[in-house]
Structure formats: C-alpha cells, structure tokens
Amino acid sequence: MSVPVLAGSPEPAAAPTRHAPDAGTLWRPSAPCAPRTCTGAGGPTRLPALAALRFAAVLFLLLAGCLAHLAAGLLGRHLPAGAVRLWCRWVVRACGVRPRIDGAAAPDGGLLLVANHVSWLDIPLIAAVRPARMLAKSEIRAWPVAGRLTARGGALFIDRDRVRALPATVARIAAALRSGDAVAVFPEGSTWCGRARGRFRRAAFQAALDAGVPVQPVRLDYRRADGETATAAAFVGDDTLLASVWRVASTRGLTAEVRVARPIAPGSHPDRARLARAAETAVLPPEHPAPVPGPRRIVFGPRPGVLPATGEALTA
C-alpha cells in the first residue's frame, strides 16, 4: 500500500449498492473502495491534541507488543493468550472505539466464524466473540509489529499468488476445526468501506463441511454518534495502517457494533455454495438478524491470529 495523506476531507463516494461488483480475480478478490472516495466526511473529529494523544497511545501499545514479542522469542516461548487478549482490548480502547456486542457464540468446540470485513479493528472485535485462529495473507508477515505478533499468536499464512495452495489451506482449516479450535475467516476476500459489501466466497465453507462443525455468522458495523455508517474505520484500497489509525483516533463517537447471528448447524446445507449463501444472508441482509440469546458481553479473546478467508476468499 502507498502512503496517503493522514489528514484532510476527501470527497465522499456516491452511495454504493449493497453488493458492488468485485474487482480482482476469484483467487485474489479486491474491492472498489478507496480512501479518497470512501473514508472522508467521517463525522465529528477530536481536537488535534487529543487525537495525537490517542494516536501516540496506540503506537506505544504497538511498540510494547513488539518488545513483548522479542522478549518471548529470546526465552523460546509464545506470548500467553491472556496477554495477547489484554493487548487487543487496550488497542481498541486506545483508539477511542466503543464496542457493542449483541449475542454470543459457543464457548468451545470446533466453530467456523465468518464475518464481513471493514477494518483492521475487525480482528480484536472477532476475538471478543470467540477466541479464534485466523488465516492471514502472507503479506501480513512483513507488517511491522503486527506481522510478528500475529505469527506468535498462532496465525497461519497463505500465499495468495499460488492457486494450488487452496486445497492445502482448506485442509489446514478443517484440521483445526476437528481439533476443537475456532477459526475466523472473512469470506468477502477484501476489506470494504461499510456502505458497499462483497459476496462471500465459498472455499472456507468446505472446511466446515469436511470437519462437520457449525458456522457462526457475525456482522460488524461501525457507526457514528448519530447512528449513521462510519467509514472512518475502513481500511481499504491503498490506505496504510498508520493513516487508518490516525483517522480512527481523530474521529469522535465511533461505535463498533458486533452482532452474532444464529449458528448454522452442520448438515443443514448439502454443499459449500448453499452454506456460503446462507451465511452471507445472515451477515449481510438489509435488516440485522436476531442475535443469539445469551449474555451481552465485551470480552476480548486470545490468539488474535489474522484475518481472512481462504483461497477464493482470502482477505486483502
């Protein structure tokens, strides 16, 4: 990604349709969303001094995470899951984002969590629903701090330039599910701004079929104080992580809504195409699905691997 301007008010994009056509390829899907057209007019902003304090707090936490990773590496150990969970919680709070979670996922057993994909903040928010392993594009390994931390957190990396890697990727997901792990994927295959969304690719759903585990749809929405969709949190196009962090830290009144839909039972759909369609309908309908009955909670889970769906559906 190239470096965009950190501040400014770009022209907002025209109102997109619910499902915009995908760019890219089946193997490397991409979204038409871009910082210049999608992330402007994000709502009320903080005073520059307060925004700078939040920005500095996030950078401090990233640095602390890097030092913790280095210390664990020198000792030949992995970072404790509880420490990673706490780190995620602090990062979200430092950004000034208020999480609101409705519903609950099964606390244990193999489970495929699928969600729409808007922001780098999706990762700790998904961890709030259920501690999960995530599959990441191989490029994330090179990200400063985040790449090392995601690797230490148990993430699996996939080279999206190698189409032949898809069957092995699906097999690894299925093996993790059979072992009782939760695996989180983003089947749209790319980040979208929140006003437009992508279609769900099917590859990861084959792993759920092979392992015989339920699929847990989760919907993520970012809202302004007035309840309208907030695109300030979107991490799209040629955006950079620093630019996105600054934009989020500068925006007042951001709320992250996490809605947990009813799980899709194993065996309820005969093939991955129908299973993917059912999950997409649960995550991306005009109206929100009813949340699963359960306690309302804001808890940040361990092992925030990374993101994405697999093969056809790898995130960007």
DSSP codes of every residue in the chain? -----SS--PPPPPPPPSBPPPEE-SSSEE-S--HHHHSS--S-B--HHHHHHHHHHHHHHHHHHHHHHHHHHHTT-PPPHHHHHHHHHHHHHHTT-EEEEES---SSS-EEEEE----TTHHHHHHHHS--EEEEEGGGGGSTTHHHHHHHTT-EEE-TT-GGGHHHHHHHHHHHHHTT-EEEE-TTSS---SSSB-PPPSHHHHHHHHHT--EEEEEEEEE-TTSSBP-TT---TT--HHHHHHHHHHBSS-EEEEEE-PPBPTTSSSSHHHHHHHHHHHHS-SSPPPPPSS-------S--------GGG---
Task: Flag whether pLDDT at 18 surpasses 80.
Answer: no
- Kindly report, residue by residue over 112-121, the tens digit of the pLDDT: 999 999 998 9
Task: Flag whether pLDDT at 314 surpasses 60.
Answer: no
**Interval 167-174 mean pLDDT:** 90
The CB density around residue 63, as the number of other CB atoms within 10 Å, is 12
Residues 86 and 65: their CA atoms lie apart, in Å, by 11
Q: What pTM, to 2 d.p., does this model score? A: 0.74
Whether 283 and 114 have beta carbons less than 8 Å apart is answered as yes
**Interval 245-271 mean pLDDT:** 92
174 pLDDT band, cuts 50/70/90, is very high
- Kindly report, residue by residue over 187-238, the tens digit of the pLDDT: 988 787 777 788 898 989 999 999 999 999 999 999 988 888 888 888 887 7
Task: Flag whether pLDDT at 77 surpasses 80.
Answer: no
- Give residue 39's pLDDT: 59
- Give residue 247's pLDDT: 87
Task: Flag whether pLDDT at 246 surpasses 80.
Answer: yes
- Give residue 284's pLDDT: 83
- Give residue 14's pLDDT: 39
- Kindly report, residue by residue over 99-155, the tens digit of the pLDDT: 888 998 998 999 999 999 999 899 888 887 887 888 777 777 777 766 766 676 667
Mean pLDDT comparison of 18-27, 77-86, 237-246, 273-282, highest-scoring range: 273-282
Question: For residues 156 and 212, which has the higher predicted lDDT (pLDDT)?
Answer: 212
- Give residue 288's pLDDT: 44
- Give residue 293's pLDDT: 43
- Give residue 1's pLDDT: 36
**Interval 7-14 mean pLDDT:** 35
User: What is the chain's mean pLDDT, rounded?
Assistant: 75
- Give residue 31's pLDDT: 58
In percent, how much of the chain has pLDDT > 70? 72
- Give residue 309's pLDDT: 36
In percent, how much of the chain has pLDDT > 90? 27
